[in-house]
Every structure is written in structure tokens, then in C-alpha cells.
Amino acid sequence: MFDHIGIVVSDLEVARKFYSACLESLGIELQEDHSQTSAEGWLVYGRTGRFPFFVVAAGRPSFWQDSHTASSAPDHLAFTAPDSRAVDAFYRAGLKNGGRDNGPPGPRRSSTQCYAAFLIDPDGNNVEASYRERAPPNKS
């Protein structure tokens, strides 16, 4: 579906600590480090053996206009977890590394059996890990 998703943060080192900790339980790790300072550069996250898909950047991306700022409108990022234990670990690691609670791990109302947790990252973005126990019914 997506080639990659990127967000811009105000402090790359704070974002590195948060995302490296909570994404580890989901099998997502830092693949490339292009940081120069805490205010410039980018980090690329992905799963081993697969094309990286998540980019965390600090500074001004080349496509930004003068009026753009980090997290002026919070993003919602939802990561797939391999099981409910990984959702729990994501939540605990995020809280220990600068995240704030935005919904503890538990079942969510959905067309599938969904177990999810929500965190607010250090820049105010809503970050989710979710595990779906079964595929949605085929409506053909």
C-alpha cells in the first residue's frame, strides 16, 4: 500500500529514544541513521529483510513550505503487532521513553477482533500498535 511514511519531529534524539524503544517489540528496528544533530537529519525504521517504511526526520524537509512546523496537526500512526504481548510491550516501552498514555492495551471495537494500545509521542502524535486476531469478513 505505502512505500514509506515520514513524520517530522522537533528533537531527533528524543524521537529516537521513543521510537526505538516502543517499535522494538513489534519487530521494527532502526535500519539507517542519517542524524547530524538533534535538530537535523533523519532515521529510517523497518523490519529486517524488508524495505524500510517509516522515516523520522528533524529539520526542514525540502518539500516543506515556510509555514510548516513539526506536529502542527498531530499524525496518527498505527503499527501492526505480531500478537497481543507485543502490543503490551510497545505500550510499556513507550511510556518509559517519553510517551504518554492515550489508551492502554485492550480490546477495541472493530469489525475484527482487535487488541490495541495508544501513546502520544514526544511531539504530540498519536501512535498505535494493534493486533488483529482474524481478517475482516469477505463482503463480496
pLDDT digits (tens, 9 = 90+) for 38-91: 778 888 888 877 666 777 777 666 666 677 676 666 788 889 999 999 999 999
Query: How many C-beta atoms lie closer than 10 Å to residue 80's C-beta?
Result: 13
The tally of domains found in the chain comes to: 1
User: At 80, phi and psi to the nearest 5?
Assistant: -80, 130
Task: Give strand pairing partners of 126.
Answer: 76, 120
Q: What is the mean pLDDT of the chain?
A: 84
What domain range is 19 assigned to?
Answer: 5-60+74-132
Question: In the predicted model, is pLDDT for residue 95 greater than 90?
Answer: yes
Q: What is the pLDDT of residue 101?
A: 97
The answer to whether position 139 is within a domain reads no
Please identify which residue in the block is written with the cell numbers 517509516: 54
CATH number of the structural domain spanning residue 83:
3.10.180.10
For residue 38, the SS3 value is coil
The conformation of residue 46, written as its DSSP 8-state character, comes to E
104, three cell numbers: 492502554
- Of 9-18, 30-39, 120-129, 131-140, the poorest mean pLDDT is in 131-140
